[in-house]
Structure 1
Amino acid sequence: MVQVCLNGPRGAADGASVPLTPEAMAESAAGAVAAGATDVHVHPKTPCGQDSLSPRVVAATLETIRARVSVPVGVTTGAWAEPSPTARVARIRSWTSLPDHASVNWHEPGAEEVAAALIDLGVGVEAGIWSGTDGAARFARSPLGPQVLRVLAEVTDTSPDTAEDSARGLLAELGSAFGRPVLLHGEDDGAWPVLRLAGRLGLATRVGLEDMLLLPTGERAASNAQLVTAGLIQYGTAGRDASRP
């Protein structure tokens, strides 16, 4: 599986290619799916470009994207969108339109409560385990671990020289991950080495303007669709190389 991450916490300062409105997100998602993405991860945003868990904002984003694509669509529940764990859970329980899945960063305060609320609503949980945090240790102790949809192993090391080693270390920390599928991805300059490692290991991955603004050539990406096209080539080539005797 190759997921497209449309925008993340990025804003207008990151360039016009980053989709910030529901209409722009839907257009970008449609292009990315046409290019081969099989799942969508998006950060719903207020009109001023801030990540939001507001039921109105989430519903508008999901409904507009789903009018253009038929693949699963997931959203963030990052603490930066709502710092209070209690308020975050209340926001989620007030959603009038439910995503197919939502990411929960396990190192953040309130992760267990947020994940439990999502599971109660029938929303798949992507357990976000960031390198450099205690997320993997917390997840290993979680009674909710066996119930998550998948694990998002996020490598926060942005060095192209060390990101792959950091990814291998994170995977070792995760161990069996309760037998749940693992999606491995990186950030910025570390994103492409980690994506190629995912291809060699046969793990799901993601690509998009949330994770990287540049193509493997170092050129600025014009769209999420362009990143998906490049990502599938990098992912597939790495996988074929790994299978050679």
Structure 2
Amino acid sequence: MQPPLTRARPRSRARLFALSALLLICVPLLSGCLRVQVSMGVSSDDRVSGQIVAATVPANDKDTGPQLTAPNSLANKIRVQEYKQDGYVGSQAFFSNLTFGEVQQLGSMSGQVGSAVQLNFQRSGDVVVLDGKADLKSVPDGSDVQFSVAFPARVATTNGTRDGDSIVTWKLPPGEVTAMRAEVRYADPNTRSFAGWAGIVTGVALGVAVIVGAMAYLGRNRSPRFEHPDAAGKDKQKV
């Protein structure tokens, strides 16, 4: 597995929180065309769900195509099943609720070198940047390799094909190295959690103030007010 791409991190007084992930998909190169389709969605709390398809045109009736195997550490978050469609055979893996760090472990789903896609998610404040590279030099012509990401907010910049405001797709050509990049802005989930807690604390404080005010009102002195006789006489004279 190749090391993840690195990016220079600017120095700033603002808090810089970086999360990186590396996805390395390896499938055996068999005779015939190759199909690799990766689609994933990034949620507003930096969780990743999606699927991976790895399949080839079978060489014979016994050829089952590339078989993906979930790593033990993610066995409860990944489900692998047979894939058979449009003359392709192989397997597809469904994953859900992965952290950026856990996405890196998807690279161990196959130990055979074939097509490789590197991804690096980096967060700086409210900005999330996806940097990726697909090395398909050894992939045969006619192969279908696609990568798609859905973000929780509008994509600001990208070198991929936009499919709406928040979805970007790259159709990766065989025999080439393709760079992928997308930038999106949405609130840091850690900041939102703090803001949410601050809101709860404020709500509790307001609730306490209301309760104290209500208790003071209910506990006020309701006895008849005493007036001095002279004061009452003076009031009558004024009338």
CA radius of gyration, larger in: 2
Structure with the higher helix share, 1 or 2: 1
Q: TM-score, normalised by structure 2?
A: 0.24
Structure with the higher strand share, 1 or 2: 2
